[in-house]
Amino acid sequence: MGRLDGKVAIVVGAGQAPGEGLGNGRAAALRFAEEGAKVLLVDRIGASAEETRAEIETRGGTASVIEANIAKEAECEAISRTCLERYGRIDILHNNVGIGHPKDQHAANMDEEVWDRIYAVNVKGIVMASKYAIQPMREQKSGVILNISSIASICTPPGLLAYKSSKAALNAFTQHAALKYAKDGIRVNAILPGLIETPMATQEHVPEEERAKRNEIRNQAVPLGRKMGSAWDIANAALFLASDEARFITGVLLPVDGGQSARVG
């Protein structure tokens, strides 16, 4: 018996950035499928989600793909509609999305287009994706929404104002929705990753000759083991929160960061 047997999960951001290693969204999709869930894989790059689907099916799981850009409300509606058409219900919505930008700066240097782009995905997109999953969850009197935030939302990284504040807004949405829909049997939680070794975090926008040095700096910043976490660490936390083992947990902002956020205060 799998921990998610009989469940249907939507994983938004189920592909991953190009590069070596495993991304958080793909890892969560694999774990959900391994534990018995049927998984609808959502990504703005369909070919990347198809790679995730192939890996799930190789392992004996069930999955299908929809290409969508959650910055567009109509495409968020299509995600939930497609899931209901294919699988008949929505038990889990895993919002594994979040973008940054190399030009994300302090307020005095902020570029309007950078700000709008980050908020369109990190806040509006997740709210809209949740909007269309909530109604079927209310009708079935159960459901789980998981949002991938960041410890940047509670710590103070240099620069990154748009990213940090967008993730803080996502935390607020998580707590708001947890209380608003608790009576409907819907649990809403957020995971706050710290420094995780994924292609997006360690390779995207980083020149190849600088990666080893940068990764060592990241490793040394982690109190637990002086090593970054892996996508499996985020996926395992998501699996627990998605499962019935967490039936009495909602509104939680869970750091998965090797102790980094314990430095706050």
pLDDT tens-digit map of 209-255: 777 888 888 889 899 988 999 999 999 999 999 999 999 999 999 99
User: 201 in a domain, yes or no?
Assistant: no
Active site residue 163: yes
User: 211 in a domain, yes or no?
Assistant: no
Taking alpha carbons only, the member of 124, 140, 222, 207 closest to residue 173 is 124
Q: CA 126 to CA 85: how far, in whole Å?
A: 21
Q: CA 214 to CA 234: how far, in whole Å?
A: 21
The CATH number for 42's domain is: 3.40.50.720
The catalytic position among 87, 132, 163, 181 is 163
User: 122 in a domain, yes or no?
Assistant: yes
User: 237 in a domain, yes or no?
Assistant: yes
The total number of structural domains in the chain stands at 1
Do residues 133 and 92 lie in contact, with contact meaning Cβ atoms separated by under 8 Å?
no
DSSP code at position 12: E
Is residue 25 very low, low, confident or very high in pLDDT (cuts 50, 70, 90)?
very high
Q: Which tokens hold the place of 8? A: 């249907």
83-113: pLDDT as tens digits:
999 999 999 999 999 998 888 888 999 999 9
DSSP code at position 87: H
Taking alpha carbons only, the member of 229, 173, 170 closest to residue 196 is 229
- One-character DSSP codes across 116-127: HHHHIIIIIIHH
Do residues 96 and 25 lie in contact, with contact meaning Cβ atoms separated by under 8 Å?
yes
6-16: pLDDT as tens digits:
999 999 999 99
CB burial readout 4-35, b (16+ within 10 A) else e: beebbbbbbbbbbbeeebbbbbbbbbbbbbbb
User: 25 in a domain, yes or no?
Assistant: yes
User: 46 in a domain, yes or no?
Assistant: yes
- Per the structure, the complete domain to which residue 34 belongs is given by 8-195+230-253
Average pLDDT value for residue range 67-74: 97
Q: At residue 170, does pLDDT exceed 70?
A: yes
Using CA atoms, how far residue 104 sits from 59, 107, 167, in Å, is: 39, 9, 14
User: 92 in a domain, yes or no?
Assistant: yes
User: 13 in a domain, yes or no?
Assistant: yes
Average pLDDT value for residue range 54-68: 98
The pLDDT of residue 91: 98
In this prediction the pTM is 0.94
Using CA atoms, how far residue 174 sits from 178, 188, 238, in Å, is: 6, 6, 14
